[in-house]
Amino acid sequence: MKKIVKKYGKFLTKTSEQYKEASAKNRVSCKRGCHECCTVGFFDITLLDALHLRDTLKDVPAAIRKKVVGRANAQLDILEKKGAFSRKDPLLKSLKAIDSISRRSAKMRCPALDDNGACLIYNQRPHICRIFGPTIRGKRRAVHLEGCGYFRRDIPEADFPILSNYGDEEVLLKAMFTKAGKKRKREVDTIIPAALTLDLEKFI
Ligand code: SF4
């Protein structure tokens, strides 16, 4: 599994580089100081994002790591108390489950967001955190990734090949399930606080 997680790390680095180039070419960037998308509850991340985050967390300075993991645990305590999440069953197995946790955590900030709006796990951050921003459009203006409403300009798929990016991600996800001995490669996700605090490999 380590090898697959390492490959995923390379995929994330390549994604960030491609996305940076596409953003510069199309002159799109987040509003200075905006971190709204990190403050409106938990979105779903893949299990590969979770394994990668957990594996590379050791590269984050110990004091910061402790703070982020502490916040994540406190948030999970609150969510468990509300019956919105369970550490014993931390996978999101349907769109309904994803919508539910997103709604019930809507007032929570990402535990990795610092008081100045910076991401404390920038190099470890999940896939979606690297590509969320402007809408990415394919041929005939088809929406391939719905972006944030603050952007006036889109990124054309010709500059950031989102579908082939998803395809590469899918190959690695399948490899992860195969390695875990799972024949049925169903889509299952989780949330950032769970990825920061739990060993999710045993839940695959
Ligand atoms: S991991 Fe970083 S970029 Fe992603 S939601 Fe959290 S603070 Fe924002």
| Model pLDDT for residues 164-204, shown as the tens digit of each residue | 999 999 999 999 999 888 776 677 899 999 999 999 988 88
Which ligand 1 atom is nearest residue 112's CA? Answer: 7
* 30 located within any domain: yes
183 Cα–ligand 1 center, Å: 32
Q: For the range 179-184, what are the long-range contacts, defined as Cβ-Cβ under 8 Å and sequence gap of 24 or more?
A: 179/1, 179/4, 180/1, 180/204
* 202 located within any domain: no
Q: Residue 96: CB partners within 8 Å, gap ≥ 6?
A: none
Tokens found for residue 1 = 């599994």
Q: Which domain holds residue 172?
A: 2-194
184 Cα–ligand 1 center, Å: 30
pTM: 0.91
Convert the pLDDT of each residue in 12-30 to its tens digit: 999 999 999 999 999 998 8
Domain count, the chain: 1
Nearest CA to ligand 1 atom 3: 129
* 103 located within any domain: yes
Among 70, 89, 78, which Cα is nearest to 200's?
A: 89
* 128 located within any domain: yes
Binding-site residues, ligand 1, Cβ < 6 A: 38, 110, 112-113, 119, 121, 125, 129, 192
Percent of the chain residues past pLDDT 70, beyond the cut: 99
* 204 located within any domain: no
* 170 located within any domain: yes
